[in-house]
């Protein structure tokens, strides 16, 4: 499938504030009524979760949340439990109330109805797949396979070469074409190459064989072996995840003629023509260029039958969730190995996810009308403005940065656009045909619809008003190539944001999220992009060297954290998110102090304003996670696990030490001259 702009953002830049929330669930469907707003305590923090037997400096997560951690059991159908999941689950109930009140023949009603019609899906079983599998079986030559891969950009199936529409890294006012490698079924190349992922490899191999057997593939076990061997060869040539984070390394513009000469193992003319992207833009951004070249060579020498088996598996795998129960259960059986989840979510919750994924702005339009008042939008915009002011003060006062670099940083901050709640113009879905009795067809048509939507921007001016998340999403992001930050309405609710909460709580919770997104513009990738969104070095050599020394020190701190038994955080891979967390919290704290206007914050429940600020910050990252889920996150997600999104930033902030009287005898104490201060 064509890589969407939001997906490209994740590939090219560290975007989101929260790690992606996988599927969450309840054991039974609630009535289709919207839940009430949730608030902890009288002013926004649940003090009953604290474990006061623990010193704040020894383990601030347990000090703030220890009783909750001890009492909480992760639901069998979740990889973790906590604030993020709770908010997400509450939003699903809100979305369900909208969908259930929509006419059954409306787009919302038809898509959800087709998902919930399990009897029809059982009756059809694998029949919807057959035409797609027949097309794979009919391929006779590499030339035909090349064209088929291009067709999967807008359909079920997979391609070895990802394509997407993205702002030109060198001229960000215009959308260009992105080309990169694809083809791996496991979360990261390391899963194929390292012994510690043997369990996951074996589960994946079993799933491939099981999937092929389910659709009548002869000698499915041998085919599974060939597919895993083929993907292992792809993994060997793939870039390491830390290299894929380097925006300068990804900036490899080529003409179509240059791409053909550089990576001749595939007929690029045929591939680009079949994908309907040939000749539209003067240059293509070839991201992981050496891997693209090596993959083209691998493609050239790989037997057609291996490629067809790989494509057959991928077609069934991508379609599995839209087929009968045996396909759904088989895929879930494999996924349990990665997440540690014990049970599949109820079908209604999975259906809500699908409607939000396919009709996000249509569903979101009603969501914001019902659940996001104009007063919340105005208050949030004021908070963001205050955070930007605080960020400007920090940049101006930065002691290690010279005047020219400061001026460029302030220009970037000033030009950073802010979008809150929902887009100015909602997307039009009127041409997407959805039928209440055709789930498989609905998803295929939706994939093609999204492909055409993205492709329509190729070669045209960048429309910065378009969003990469639906309004109901519990997350936020920084689109670095557009120099904008986006805060969907879905995350703008308690305990992240509450108009009636203590200001210290809002600044400590959503303020830290806002600061995180602002400071992504100045993390180790964002700093390589200028105020216009172009990839350009706007730093002096001396400032760049000082910055690198600071980030190296921060990386060493995070690489020493053991997130699960034997699982250590990769400080280099998570660098951008860690900078966002730490610098964002600093900016949020400064903005909170500025909001007091020189007055002393009142003491509430025996807690100072600063203490309430840091408790709210910890509460926003309240999470308990399965070890298997942590292992997968550390291997493939640039966000650190929640525990170290609390501890990691705090132990570098002087104000945290002062707020709780933390001294050198504390476990997480860092001497003042060893604390990392980047922004």
pLDDT of residue 493: 95
In sequence order, what are the residues at sequence separation of 6 or more whose Cβ sits closer than 8 angstroms to the Cβ of residue 587?
387, 390, 391, 394, 515, 518, 519, 679
Average pLDDT on 61-77 reads 98
pLDDT bracket for residue 179 (50, 70, 90): very high
pLDDT of residue 21: 55
Strand partners, 178: 164, 285
pLDDT of residue 1: 38
Contact 573, 190 (CB under 8 A): no
Residues 303-337 pLDDT 10s: 999 999 999 999 999 999 999 999 999 999 999 99
pLDDT bracket for residue 27 (50, 70, 90): very low
Rounded CA separation 575/554 (Å): 8
Rounded CA separation 569/641 (Å): 8
Residues 105-122 pLDDT 10s: 999 999 999 999 999 999
Nearest to 466 by CA among 8, 1, 2: 8
pLDDT bracket for residue 24 (50, 70, 90): very low
Statement: residue 18 has pLDDT above 90 = no
Statement: residue 39 has pLDDT above 80 = no
Residues 123-142 pLDDT 10s: 999 999 999 999 999 999 99
Secondary structure of 174-204 as H, E, C letters: EEEEEEEECCCCCCCCHHHHCHHHHHHHHHH
Contact 111, 355 (CB under 8 A): yes
Rounded CA separation 664/668 (Å): 9
In sequence order, what are the residues at sequence separation of 6 or more whose Cβ sits closer than 8 angstroms to the Cβ of residue 3?
11, 162, 163, 164, 178
Residues 342-395 pLDDT 10s: 999 999 999 999 999 999 999 999 999 999 999 999 999 999 999 999 999 999
pLDDT of residue 15: 55
pLDDT bracket for residue 41 (50, 70, 90): confident
Instruction: Identify whether 493 is preceded by a cis peptide bond (ω within 30 of 0).
Output: no
CA atoms within 13 A on the CB side of 187: 20
Strand (E) or helix (H) holding 627: helix 627-636
Furthest CA-CA distance within the chain? 77
Rounded CA separation 488/95 (Å): 14
Average pLDDT on 159-183 reads 97
Tokens of 648: 């990691």
Query: Phi first, then psi: what are they for 237, rounded to 5°?
Result: -95, -10
CA atoms within 13 A on the CB side of 627: 6
Average pLDDT on 601-624 reads 97
Rounded CA separation 335/354 (Å): 18
Statement: residue 231 has pLDDT above 70 = yes
Average pLDDT on 259-279 reads 97
Nearest to 567 by CA among 658, 515, 632: 632
Statement: residue 205 has pLDDT above 50 = yes
Statement: residue 6 has pLDDT above 70 = no
pLDDT bracket for residue 515 (50, 70, 90): very high
Q: 673: buried, middle or exposed (CB in 10 Å: 19+, 13-18, 0-12)?
A: exposed
pLDDT of residue 37: 55
Instruction: Count other Cβ atoms within 10 Å, centred on residue 336.
Output: 15
The CA-CA-CA angle for residues 23, 27, 30, to 5°, reads 95
pLDDT of residue 40: 77
pLDDT of residue 13: 45
From the CA atom positions of the chain, what is the Rg in Å? 25
Three-class SS state of 607: strand
pLDDT of residue 45: 96
Mean pLDDT of the chain: 94
Kindly report the pTM of this predicted structure. 0.93
pLDDT of residue 42: 85
């Amino acid at each position: 499938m064509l890589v969407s702009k939001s997906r490209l953002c994740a590939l090219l830049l560290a975007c989101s504030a929260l790690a992606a929330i996988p599927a969450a669930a309840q054991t039974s469907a609630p009535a289709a009524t919207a839940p009430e707003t949730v608030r902890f305590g009288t002013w926004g923090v649940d003090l009953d979760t604290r474990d006061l037997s623990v010193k704040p400096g020894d383990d601030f997560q347990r000090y703030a949340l220890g009783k909750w951690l001890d009492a909480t059991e992760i639901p069998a159908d979740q990889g973790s439990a906590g604030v993020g999941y709770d908010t997400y689950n509450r939003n699903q109930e809100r979305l369900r109330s909208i969908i259930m009140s929509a006419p059954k023949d409306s787009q919302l009603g038809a898509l959800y109805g087709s998902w919930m019609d399990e009897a029809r899906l059982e009756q059809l079983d694998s029949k919807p797949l057959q035409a797609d599998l027949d097309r794979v079986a009919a391929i006779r030559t590499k030339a035909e396979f090349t064209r088929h891969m291009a067709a999967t950009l807008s359909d079920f199936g997979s391609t070895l070469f990802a394509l997407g529409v993205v702002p030109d890294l060198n001229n960000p006012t215009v959308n260009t074409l992105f080309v990169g490698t694809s083809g791996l079924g496991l979360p990261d190349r390391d899963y194929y190459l390292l012994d510690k992922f043997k369990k996951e490899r074996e589960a994946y191999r079993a799933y491939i064989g099981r999937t092929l057997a389910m659709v009548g593939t002869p000698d499915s076990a041998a085919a599974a072996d060939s597919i895993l061997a083929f993907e292992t060869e792809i993994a060997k040539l793939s870039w390491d995840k830390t290299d894929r984070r380097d925006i300068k390394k990804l900036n490899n513009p080529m003409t179509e003629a240059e791409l053909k000469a550089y990576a001749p193992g595939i007929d690029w003319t045929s591939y680009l023509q079949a994908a309907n992207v040939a000749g539209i833009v003067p240059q293509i951004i070839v991201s992981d260029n050496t891997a693209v070249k090596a993959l083209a060579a691998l493609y050239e020498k790989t037997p057609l039958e291996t490629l067809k088996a790989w494509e057959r598996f991928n077609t069934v795998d991508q379609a599995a969730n839209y087929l009968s129960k045996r396909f759904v259960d088989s895929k879930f059986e494999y996924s349990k190995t990665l997440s540690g989840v014990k049970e599949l979510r109820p079908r209604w919750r999975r259906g809500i996810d699908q409607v939000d994924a396919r009709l996000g702005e249509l569903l979101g339009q009603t969501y914001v009308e019902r659940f996001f008042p104009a007063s919340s939008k105005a208050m949030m915009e004021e908070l963001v403005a205050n955070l930007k002011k605080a960020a400007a003060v920090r940049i101006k006062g930065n002691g290690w940065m010279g005047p020219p670099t400061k001026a460029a940083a302030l220009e970037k901050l000033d030009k950073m656009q802010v979008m809150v709640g929902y887009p100015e113009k909602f997307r039009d879905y009127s041409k997407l045909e959805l039928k209440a009795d055709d789930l498989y067809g609905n998803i295929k048509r939706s994939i093609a619809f999204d492909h055409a939507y993205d492709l329509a921007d190729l070669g045209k001016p960048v429309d910065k008003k378009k969003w990469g998340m639906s309004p109901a999403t519990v997350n936020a992001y920084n689109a670095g190539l557009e120099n904008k930050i986006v805060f969907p309405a879905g995350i703008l609710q308690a305990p992240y944001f509450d108009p009636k909460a203590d200001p210290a709580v809002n600044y400590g919770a959503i303020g830290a999220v806002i600061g995180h997104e602002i400071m992504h513009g100045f993390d180790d990738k964002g700093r390589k992009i200028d105020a216009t969104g172009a990839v350009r070095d706007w730093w002096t050599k001396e400032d760049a060297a000082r910055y690198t020394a600071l980030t190296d020190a921060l990386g060493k701190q995070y690489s020493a954290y053991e997130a699960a038994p034997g699982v250590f955080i990769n400080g280099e891979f998570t660098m951008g998110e860690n900078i966002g967390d730490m610098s964002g919290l600093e900016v949020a704290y400064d903005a909170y102090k500025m909001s007091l206007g020189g007055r002393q914050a009142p003491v509430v429940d025996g807690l100072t304003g600063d203490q309430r600020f840091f408790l709210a910050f910890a509460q926003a990252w309240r999470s308990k996670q399965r070890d298997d889920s942590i292992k997968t996150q550390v291997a493939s997600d640039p966000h650190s696990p929640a525990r170290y999104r609390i501890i990691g930033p705090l132990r570098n902030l002087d104000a945290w030490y002062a707020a709780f009287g933390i001294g050198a005898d504390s476990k997480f104490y860092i001497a003042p001259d060893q604390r990392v201060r980047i922004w």
